[in-house]
Structure 1
């Protein structure tokens, strides 16, 4: 039964808790169950055929109460379900597309079953949603305004009809493999829609393949997907974070799973869960239900063993208050750049190429290096973020060009690798970055200019 929007609205506080408090709460949750269950469950590939028939989605014994009981047995505190993966099949009662679970043999809203079971067990509820959608051709080179509205409509359903959602994990967005940028599908619009519908819902984009680990770009929580080679620094992390890993060999269930050993419960606890709890990091362990809609026995045994080994600490470390995340579009991305002499092939264009793995490198002989960014026309902006290859520049100044004249904007002395400069809004067509003090020839990975709504 669909929950009336008016009822859900009463569950969402009018005055949202501040972001640092929500981030601390997420870290305090410590341990949860990622649940990859969708149409790829019924294939041998995690990336399903985008034209796979809903007829194959046919669990005979779907039991989300069993999922919740398994999570409780491991001393987990929440779940997170894949509402839609990259092939576009929706496992809720959506009005946005016929490609959904109500047109499968099951004809039952799996998201509804999941949220009811986990709440009944006293567990928190999170959801996963993929922007990349190969069935509906929501992919690079094909995206239209109708696609953007489609995303907004689907998220509105998920955040209106299913009660309080603690966090929304978003995937397939501005990743090197999806190639859907935060401009093509506008991040800030989607982020603000989510916060309007549920002010206390954290937005967690799985974007660590691209963005640095020491600042929150386009996410309320820093995420690490271990299977993709993304690993948190347990010693140095200062951000609210999440690390995820599948218990089995793949994210989605495979026919070999019942006979294949799962990851060792003792190692998962001692090498992941316990040290992550001390590093401001929540551990999300994926468990893949099988084609009957049940968790296999070998996974249940491992989860129970983890619960015997692990008890969530009564008090976890207090997360350092992070600078507010960047959620706006970068006005300087791939703009025209001039500057002082570059070293070898590392020209100034690398400072705006939207790739944090490349750098503009100043020639060592230059004593006062500078970069000048041409925005093309007068634009409003109120934030500049300078990302170095490593901490180096310790004094700098920024100027802006408006109405045919240069004006001083700020003098900075931040020593961090990522220097976030927020100021009152100005208008300008060019920005000049002067590097005044540094230990070695400056290396600038990215220079970002933003017009934040504040």
Structure 2
């Protein structure tokens, strides 16, 4: 399968301007190609299940630019990144002073283990082209820096020592190599294949390979040939969907997929707001970070959470603090309610999420009714609950109704500051995974009449299925916005919503939520901001008969699900 710009589906992932105290810089722009019609061998089922059981991994973005405290690769101004701030003649020589003597791979992997992570993925080479390993393909690598130690090998050795799976990030696109996207592009392909062969054969078992876009140029059959090498030397490696062909999982970035048990997926997020160390970027509040993690696990995804060591090799104190907080939470909750679980059977919503393992269902409650009334849940396929407990201690009242529904009530003094995790043991030793997943309460979109700016089957927006996607595509020259309108015969009260994504996605344009005012004109009540929370809670509930999702400035917008939630 020849991979060129003409015969592949083109996907863009753009992480945008973060706000408030999370970040204050434009994050990376990504363009990657994937030939969906090309079918390549996946990892064996046992490897896929083991990866899924892990649930939680550490992403590590690091390179010589950390000495300046700027974003990895994307701070470099050049042909492919015109809004970068650092000229190539400054960025490209940072390796000459890179001597991170305070780097301790044992310390980083040990902290990751305590925080609940069971695998890591390290940036062997990012877009700016510098290899953090000993590469014979060229001399723009760590062995040319004063440090002169193979950092990939150090991470691999520490991971093996601590029984932690080890994975690698590698960017096929390269903004440094002179042959990329030229008449000598084939020389770069040879360079790329050489480095991949080194990584696949010299660092022991690799559990995950995380590519990040092919970039411009004629790649021929390169993607398939590299995938064949992966399956030859690392048959158990899980491979993401940004390498041109083949994939074991898809990769929501700074967002979360809609609930999806049918396709494997892994969200990737930063602990701060940047891929790499920046002293001016604060860490996400712990409560927000936990919401991101829980909504990922509850939607049946894995999580890859990023850190970025400083230029001297030491850890960012803000990330260290968050990981220690995660370690405290994991010690009480993680091994029982996250490790080895799957998402469901209660789908994520305003209230929180659920996970399940064996005969256990775990309710991770993030929000309670303001009037302190019990949370009501739909039936568990007729199964009864025989035992309950709050993992952090305290009393929980669970009442089963005659119709099989049940309610959950926890006194405020027993609720967690971030979430309250309640364990339900189902009767008859059934496998709770077999309970059909459903929402706690039906989405208000189900009772609305839907219309849209573009043709397509709008019923897919209400079918609770991440794999059925409405693809809005504007005609050439049409600059009008994309919209989906919902109308009800009687007013409904909306407290929160979710615009659910599946494998296909774009985050370039931020939607708006509008309702009609007293004069029948559309009024914006919410503008999306990249706060990385999948369920948007409105500042105050709105009662309306008309609501629309509006997306401006884009020619395409894929949407898997559109759910509106009433008050708890």
Q: Confirm or deny a common fold (TM above 0.5).
A: yes
User: Is residue 267 from structure 1 mapped to residue 288 from structure 2 by the alignment?
Assistant: yes
CA contact (8 A) 1:35 1:286 kept: yes
Kept after mapping to 1: 8 A contact 2:266/2:304 = yes
> Which of 43, 52, 55 does residue 30 from structure 1 map onto?
55
Equivalent position of 1:219 in the other structure: 247
- Structure 1 residues 28 and 189 mapped into 2: Cα distance closer, same or farther (>3 Å)? same
- Kept after mapping to 2: 8 A contact 1:23/1:221: no
For 1:21 and 1:309, locate their aligned partners in 2 and report how far apart those are by CA, in whole Å: 29
Alignment gaps of 5+ in structure 1: 1-15, 212-216, 321-344, 347-355, 362-386, 390-443, 447-454
Q: Deviations over 1:47-73 (max 9, x none)?
A: 245551221322131211121122122
Alignment correspondent of 2:239:
203
Question: RMSD of the TM alignment (CA)?
Answer: 3.4
For residue 262 of structure 2, the aligned residue among 224, 238, 258 is 238
Give the SS at the match of 2:224.
helix
1:165 offset after TM fit, Å?
0.3
Task: Give the drift of 1:237.
Answer: 5.6
* Partner SS, residue 27 of structure 1: helix
The residue aligned with 1:428 is none
User: In the alignment, is the contact (CA less than 8 A) between 1:276 and 1:282 conserved in 2?
Assistant: yes
- Given that 1:127 and 1:168 are in contact with CA atoms closer than 8 Å, whether structure 2 keeps it comes out as yes
Cα shift readout 1:116-156 (whole Å, capped 9, x = no counterpart) = 11221221100000111111135444552221111111011
Of residues 212, 223, 227 in structure 2, which corresponds to 1:191? Answer: 227
**Deviation of 1:255 (Å):** 3.3
Matches within 5 A, 1:295-310: 295-310=315-330
Q: Structure 1 length as normaliser, TM-score?
A: 0.59
Matched, 1:294 2:320: no
Please give the residue correspondences for 1:266-285 in structure 2 after superposition, counting only pairs within 5 Å: 266-269=287-290, 271-285=291-305
Task: Tell me, yes or no, if the aligned pair for 1:266 and 1:306 is still in contact at 8 Å.
Answer: no
Query: Once the 2 structures are TM-superposed, how far is the Cα of residue 185 of structure 1 from its aligned partner?
Result: 6.3
Contact 1:239 1:280 survives alignment (8 Å): no
2-side partners of 1:37 and 1:267: how far apart? 24
Partner residue in 2 for 1:46: 72
1:19 aligns with 44
Gap change, CA 1:36 and 1:194, over 3 Å in 2: same
Alpha-carbon distance, 1:188 to partner: 1.0
The runs of 5 or more residues in structure 2 that have no matched partner are 1-40, 77-86, 345-432, 434-453, 456-470, 477-502, 506-555, 559-568
Asked if the contact 1:225/1:243 (under 8 Å) is kept, the reply is yes
TM-aligned CA deviation for residue 273 of structure 1: 2.0
Q: Deviations over 1:187-207 (max 9, x none)?
A: 111111111121111221347
1:59 maps to 2:83: no
Decide whether the 8 Å contact of 2:168 with 2:210 is kept in 1.
yes
Measured after TM superposition, the shift of residue 218 of structure 1 is: 3.3
Instruction: Assess, with a 3 A threshold, how the Cα gap between structure 1 residues 72 and 388 changes in structure 2: closer, same or farther.
Output: closer
Deviation per residue, 1:237-294 (Å, 9 max, x gap):
63110000111121111233xxx5411223322x222232233311011011001111
Per the alignment, residue 452 of structure 1 pairs with: none
| Number of residue pairs the alignment of both structures matches | 299
TM-score, with structure 2 as normaliser:
0.48
| Structure-to-structure mapping, 1:92-103, within 5 angstroms | 92-103=133-144
Provide the rounded CA distance (Å) in 1 between the counterparts of 2:120 and 2:228: 24
Alpha-carbon shift at residue 82 of structure 1 (Å): 0.3
Secondary structure of 1:225's counterpart equals coil
Cα distance, 1:388 vs structure 2? 12
Q: Is the CA contact 2:55–2:302 (under 8 Å) kept in the aligned structure 1?
A: yes
Find the partner of 1:253 among 250, 273, 277: 277
